[in-house]
């Protein structure tokens, strides 16, 4: 037998495809098969080119998109299936530092390696559209989008303490934390006061939430985004604050608290403020024990994220000398400070009561009085709750609640809000868990933030702010954008001067001082102010890793094919141009987006946010970037752990390709199990798919040259069923069952004494998306000149998928007792007759009374006997 020489076949066809530009999006050979201008934009989450190269887990998603895009090409659609590199950010930079080479060189080297590895797998990428986020032509537009956001007032300077990773020596966004630790290096994160650029993603919270309903994404990804955004409907209640030191208690100010459980307001027996609550400063003169409070604030500030979120014990200090008034009861209640209340959520203050575990614990610890105002329906439990032996957090019936006694929690809420609102004590409002996006990083390897700080302009803006709009117009020389007015002194770099290139530096290692390494380059830092031409300083922080991936799917669309392969400067067209708009109209949204679930609450939220902004400023016309999303499940090592250099359990795809071929690897990874599920790698099992491909190769040897006249109806049915199944399974990302169907067909064909070339041809076209090389080889051997990948996908005959004969199962009382073959759509009477004539069935029915006969057409008969 002729051995399966996968190396020769794969090398040969990869070279032919590349020479004929088979997979070019525009003007490639593939164009010829395009029907009606239908498009399919198939997108992989692009990799960051790490130094370790690919392991067999990485390509799983890429194989899936490749199968999907090849299938769609065969369906006659124009395909955009690009690939690029997300090369800014900590992974690339840390690799560079560890290996003592400049990140730019490291990235170049790693990209080369990745590209070579991907090349071995025979993907149908249009490499002419390759992008790299660290290319100045690319990040020019990353900066441009940021600049638009800044001018539109979506970027602001914040002095709030932020999460600081002491090991990576940079600030981090909320999204970059895992259990209070740095997501990259697992160091315990500290709080650090650092001025930061923050993007107002919360302005888009509602749209990010409602947009989810329109997307075909896995439900759990949508659900985690909903969780992450964390919309809570509730009420803001105002508590008046009195200085109780005076004889005639003096009202000094008021405090707002947020609650989703206003039904518990009557049991509110104390108020708790977050340690950083600004009110503490405002009323400090009234606080008798201010020293004690300050000490507590200091302690709280020094806590790490982990200590702060420790739920086991509650600490706090009472504010002596001041009290709050519960607006529902008019009672004077104590005010406490405790770090279980978060400064950054809601209003940074809560009213506390017996119907919240945390409040309950705190009250018990410090002997603060509690009052019950909700009772559970169970009488025994209610008694315990009344005696304050149990903390009842659920909804129940109101009690001790004045006019609302007897109402259920649900009924009471709107009524209580209305009642308090009338008196001016409350308003219903909505809060989000989502926090604004801390956008500055104190690291070298990122896009420079295209802003400068100018003292002269700061004065201008300050003047502007103190005057009325009209006066301001006359008195200030320059026009300031919304962002420039909101952030006095900060001026956007002139668009025409973009990109702000990352300067070459000697030392790109993080300083740890909170300054970026860029701050040391005086020549770069000191610039002329774009507004007043006076002396100004550049912003030296860089953008986070996620910036570049917020618009890369747009970049692929507008990176059109270049006539010359040697074009070195690949400029992107203006994002605001009409031409860009037309192209984006054609390609967006992405039809199929494939990547890991770990991006659910990071990249996938950030990119949606930027996209919605680009929609608002008229760059894109769709409201959402990614219409359909599929998650790829991890490939674990054979020991069940993650593949990692550290564990020494990494399988390199190059070796697998060398031994078994890319086609075997591709088919195996698609066959392993459900696509979105994590499964352990098993090289032994891969042998099975290799055998399967060899079997098809052998089929070809048996193919008869002359046309066969005899047609086997059973085989024809199977063939059409397979066409249907494989197509539907590819659309549904159920590749494992698609391949199983191909195996079943192959096994059946193998048993046939004669095999018409037409039948084999269909099998080969069905195989083509999965094993493109071997399919192309066999296709050519069958005498075709054109590539199999431009063939139309076979069409199944709806009548042919239904077999003429069906197996009817006969059950007695639900247990299978026999079966027989019958013609499709045989009458119920004839089925019954045949069934009852079967000897085994007769035996089971003997001497019993038949109560009922259930007939499911073309499937089964169930006889109920007693």
Asked if 744 interacts with RNA (CB under 7 A), we say: yes
Stretch that binds RNA, among 185-193, 449-457, 587-595, 731-739 (CB under 7 A): 731-739
d(C-alpha 259, C-alpha 232), whole Å: 9
What is the dihedral sign for C-alpha 115, 118, 122, 126? negative
Q: ∠ at Cα 29 (25, 30), nearest 5°?
A: 55
> In the complex with RNA, which residue's Cβ is closer, 284 or 821?
821
Q: Which of residues 647-676 bind RNA (CB under 7 A)?
A: 659-660, 671-674
Out of 98, 342, 754, 804, the only residue in the binding site for RNA (CB under 7 A) is 342
Q: How far is CA 851 from CA 499, 841, 854, in A?
A: 84, 15, 10
Residue 468, preceding peptide bond in cis (omega within 30° of 0): no
Asked whether the beta carbons of 13 and 772 are under 8 A apart, the reply is yes
From residue 267 to residue 286, what is the string marking binding to RNA with x (rule CB under 7 A)? -------x------------
Task: Count CA within 13 A, CB hemisphere, residue 560.
Answer: 12
> In the complex with RNA, which residue's Cβ is closer, 106 or 635?
635
Asked if 734 interacts with RNA (CB under 7 A), we say: yes
Sequence-separated (6 or more) residues with CB below 8 Å from residue 687: 660
Asked if 747 interacts with RNA (CB under 7 A), we say: yes
> In the complex with RNA, which residue's Cβ is closer, 316 or 489?
316
Asked whether the beta carbons of 156 and 200 are under 8 A apart, the reply is yes
> In the complex with RNA, which residue's Cβ is closer, 127 or 844?
844
For residues 521, 522, 523, 529, the Cα torsion angle rounded to the nearest 10 degrees is 120
Q: At closest approach, how far in Å is the CB of 341 from RNA?
A: 4
**Strands (E) located in 17-166:** 39-44, 78-80, 84-85, 131-132, 155-158, 161-165
From residue 195 to residue 224, what is the string marking binding to RNA with x (rule CB under 7 A)? ------------------------xx--xx
Q: Which of residues 35-64 bind RNA (CB under 7 A)?
A: none
Residue 499, preceding peptide bond in cis (omega within 30° of 0): yes
Question: What are 401's two structure tokens?
Answer: 């609640």
Out of 383, 462, 750, 833, the only residue in the binding site for RNA (CB under 7 A) is 750
Q: At closest approach, how far in Å is the CB of 264 from RNA?
A: 8
What is the dihedral sign for C-alpha 782, 786, 787, 792? negative
**Strands (E) located in 691-804:** none
Helix (H) or strand (E) segment spanning residue 806: strand 805-812
Asked if 635 interacts with RNA (CB under 7 A), we say: no
Q: Are strands 629-631 and 850-856 parallel, antiparallel or unpaired?
A: unpaired
Site size with RNA, rule: CB under 7 A: 85
Out of 333, 341, 584, 590, the only residue in the binding site for RNA (CB under 7 A) is 341
For residues 646, 647, 649, 652, the Cα torsion angle rounded to the nearest 10 degrees is 0
Asked if 825 interacts with RNA (CB under 7 A), we say: no
Q: At closest approach, how far in Å is the CB of 261 from RNA?
A: 5
> In the complex with RNA, which residue's Cβ is closer, 76 or 230?
230
Q: At closest approach, how far in Å is the CB of 796 from RNA?
A: 15
d(C-alpha 238, C-alpha 325), whole Å: 9
Out of 455, 654, 694, 752, the only residue in the binding site for RNA (CB under 7 A) is 694
Asked whether the beta carbons of 40 and 79 are under 8 A apart, the reply is yes
Q: At closest approach, how far in Å is the CB of 315 from RNA?
A: 7
Question: What are 437's two structure tokens?
Answer: 């996006």
Out of 185, 193, 701, 856, the only residue in the binding site for RNA (CB under 7 A) is 856
Out of 737, 780, 803, 834, the only residue in the binding site for RNA (CB under 7 A) is 737
> In the complex with RNA, which residue's Cβ is closer, 465 or 824?
824
Q: At closest approach, how far in Å is the CB of 821 from RNA?
A: 9
Out of 754, 840, 842, 848, the only residue in the binding site for RNA (CB under 7 A) is 840
Q: Which of residues 301-320 bind RNA (CB under 7 A)?
A: 308-311, 314
Task: Count CA within 13 A, CB hemisphere, residue 262.
Answer: 29
Helix (H) or strand (E) segment spanning residue 426: strand 426-432
Stretch that binds RNA, among 36-44, 156-164, 334-342, 703-711 (CB under 7 A): 334-342
For residues 509, 513, 518, 519, the Cα torsion angle rounded to the nearest 10 degrees is -150
Asked if 233 interacts with RNA (CB under 7 A), we say: no
Q: Which of residues 695-724 bind RNA (CB under 7 A)?
A: 695
Pick from 338, 370, 357, 363: which is nearest to 269 by CA? Answer: 370
From residue 165 to residue 184, what is the string marking binding to RNA with x (rule CB under 7 A)? ---------x---x------
Asked if 346 interacts with RNA (CB under 7 A), we say: yes
Q: Which of residues 357-376 bind RNA (CB under 7 A)?
A: 358
Q: At closest approach, how far in Å is the CB of 838 from RNA?
A: 12
Q: At closest approach, how far in Å is the CB of 744 from RNA?
A: 5
Q: At closest approach, how far in Å is the CB of 630 from RNA?
A: 14
Q: At closest approach, how far in Å is the CB of 262 from RNA?
A: 8
Q: Which of residues 234-253 bind RNA (CB under 7 A)?
A: 234
Asked if 852 interacts with RNA (CB under 7 A), we say: yes
From residue 603 to residue 622, what is the string marking binding to RNA with x (rule CB under 7 A)? --------------------
Residue 382, preceding peptide bond in cis (omega within 30° of 0): no
Asked if 815 interacts with RNA (CB under 7 A), we say: yes
Beta partners for residue 666, in sequence order: none
Which residue in the block uniquely carries the two structure tokens 């770069």? 524
Radius of gyration of the chain (CA): 34
Reduced DSSP (H G I as helix, E B as strand, rest coil) percent helix, strand, coil of the chain, to 5: 40, 20, 40
Out of 542, 689, 717, 765, the only residue in the binding site for RNA (CB under 7 A) is 689
Asked if 846 interacts with RNA (CB under 7 A), we say: no
Q: At closest approach, how far in Å is the CB of 282 from RNA?
A: 18
Out of 51, 57, 89, 348, the only residue in the binding site for RNA (CB under 7 A) is 348
End-to-end CA distance of the chain: 61
Asked if 684 interacts with RNA (CB under 7 A), we say: yes
Task: Count CA within 13 A, CB hemisphere, residue 10.
Answer: 20
């Amino acid at each position: 037998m002729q051995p399966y020489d996968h190396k020769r076949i794969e090398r040969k066809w990869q070279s032919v495809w590349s020479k004929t530009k088979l997979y070019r999006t525009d003007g490639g050979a593939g164009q010829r098969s395009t029907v009606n201008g239908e498009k399919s934009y198939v997108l992989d989450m692009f990799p960051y080119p790490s130094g370790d190269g690919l392991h067999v887990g990485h390509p799983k998603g890429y194989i899936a998109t490749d199968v999907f895009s090849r299938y769609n090409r065969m369906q006659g659609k124009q395909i955009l299936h690009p690939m690029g590199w997300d090369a800014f950010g900590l992974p690339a930079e840390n690799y560079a530092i560890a290996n003592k080479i400049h990140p730019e060189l490291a990235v170049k080297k790693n990209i080369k390696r990745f590209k070579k590895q991907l090349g071995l797998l025979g993907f149908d990428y249009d490499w002419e559209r390759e992008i790299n986020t660290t290319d100045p032509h690319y990040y020019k537009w990353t900066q441009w989008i940021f600049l638009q956001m800044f001018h539109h007032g979506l970027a602001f300077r914040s002095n709030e303490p932020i999460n600081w990773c002491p090991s990576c020596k940079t600030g981090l966004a909320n999204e970059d934390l895992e259990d209070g630790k740095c997501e990259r290096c697992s160091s315990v994160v500290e709080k650090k006061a650092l001025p930061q650029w923050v993007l107002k993603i919360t302005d888009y919270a509602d749209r990010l939430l409602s947009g989810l309903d329109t997307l075909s994404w896995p439900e759990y990804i949508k659900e985690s985004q909903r969780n992450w955004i964390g919309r809570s409907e509730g009420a803001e209640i105002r508590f008046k604050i009195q200085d109780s030191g005076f004889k005639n208690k003096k009202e000094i100010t008021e405090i707002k608290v947020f609650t989703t459980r206003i039904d518990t307001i009557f049991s509110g027996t104390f108020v708790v403020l977050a340690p950083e609550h600004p009110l503490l400063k405002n009323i400090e003169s009234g606080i008798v024990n201010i020293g004690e409070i300050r000490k507590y604030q200091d302690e709280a500030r020094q806590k790490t994220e982990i200590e702060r979120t420790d739920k086991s014990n509650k600490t706090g200090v009472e504010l002596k000398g001041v009290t709050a008034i519960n607006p529902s009861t008019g009672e004077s209640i104590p005010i406490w400070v405790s770090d279980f209340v978060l400064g950054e959520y809601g209003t940074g203050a809560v009213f506390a009561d017996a119907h919240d575990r945390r409040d309950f614990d705190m009250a018990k610890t410090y002997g603060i009085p509690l009052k019950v105002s909700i009772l559970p329906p169970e009488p025994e439990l209610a008694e315990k709750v009344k005696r304050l032996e149990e903390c009842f957090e659920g909804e129940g019936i109101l009690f001790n609640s004045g006019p609302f006694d007897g109402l259920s929690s649900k009924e009471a809420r709107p009524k209580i809000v209305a009642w308090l609102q009338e008196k001016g004590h409350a308003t219903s409002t909505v809060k989000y868990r989502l926090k604004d996006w801390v956008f500055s990083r104190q690291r070298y390897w990122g896009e420079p933030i295209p802003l400068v700080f100018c003292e002269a302009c700061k004065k201008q803006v300050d003047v502007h702010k103190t005057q009325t709009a009209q006066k301001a117009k006359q008195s200030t020389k320059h026009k300031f954008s919304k962002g420039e007015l909101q952030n006095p002194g900060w001026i956007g770099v002139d668009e025409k001067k973009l990109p702000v290139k990352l300067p070459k530096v000697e030392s790109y290692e993080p300083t740890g001082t909170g300054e970026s390494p860029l701050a040391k380059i005086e020549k770069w830092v000191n610039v002329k102010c774009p507004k007043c031409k006076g002396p100004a300083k550049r912003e030296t922080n860089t953008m986070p890793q996620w910036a570049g991936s917020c618009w890369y799917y747009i970049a692929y669309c507008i990176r059109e094919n270049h006539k010359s392969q040697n074009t070195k400067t690949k400029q992107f067209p203006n994002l605001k141009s009409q031409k860009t708009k037309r192209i984006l109209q054609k390609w967006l949204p992405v039809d199929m987006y494939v990547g890991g679930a770990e991006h659910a609450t990071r990249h996938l939220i950030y990119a949606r946010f930027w996209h919605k902004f680009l929609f608002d400023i008229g760059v894109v016309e769709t409201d959402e970037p990614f219409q359909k999303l599929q998650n790829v499940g991890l490939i674990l090592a054979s020991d069940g752990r993650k593949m990692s250099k550290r564990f020494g359990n990494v399988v390199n795809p190059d070796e697998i390709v060398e031994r078994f071929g890319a086609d075997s690897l591709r088919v195996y990874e698609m066959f392993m199990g459900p696509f979105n599920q994590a499964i352990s790698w098993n090289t032994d099992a891969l042998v099975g798919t290799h055998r399967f491909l060899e079997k098809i190769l052998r089929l070809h040897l048996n193919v008869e040259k002359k046309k066969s006249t005899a047609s086997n109806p059973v085989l024809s049915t199977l063939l059409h069923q397979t066409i249907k199944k494989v197509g539907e399974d590819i659309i549904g990302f159920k590749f494992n069952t698609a391949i199983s169907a191909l195996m079943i067909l192959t096994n059946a064909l193998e048993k046939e004494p004669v095999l018409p070339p037409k039948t084999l041809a269909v099998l080969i076209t069905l195989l083509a998306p999965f094993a493109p090389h071997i399919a192309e080889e066999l296709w050519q051997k069958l005498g075709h000149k054109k590539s199999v990948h431009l063939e139309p996908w076979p069409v199944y005959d709806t009548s042919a998928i239904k077999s003429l004969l069906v197996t009817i199962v006969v059950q007695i009382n639900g247990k299978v007792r026999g079966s027989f073959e019958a013609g499709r759509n045989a009458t119920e009477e004839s089925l019954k007759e045949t069934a009852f004539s079967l000897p085994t069935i007769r035996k089971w029915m003997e001497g019993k009374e038949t109560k009922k006969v259930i007939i499911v057409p073309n499937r089964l008969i169930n006889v109920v006997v007693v």
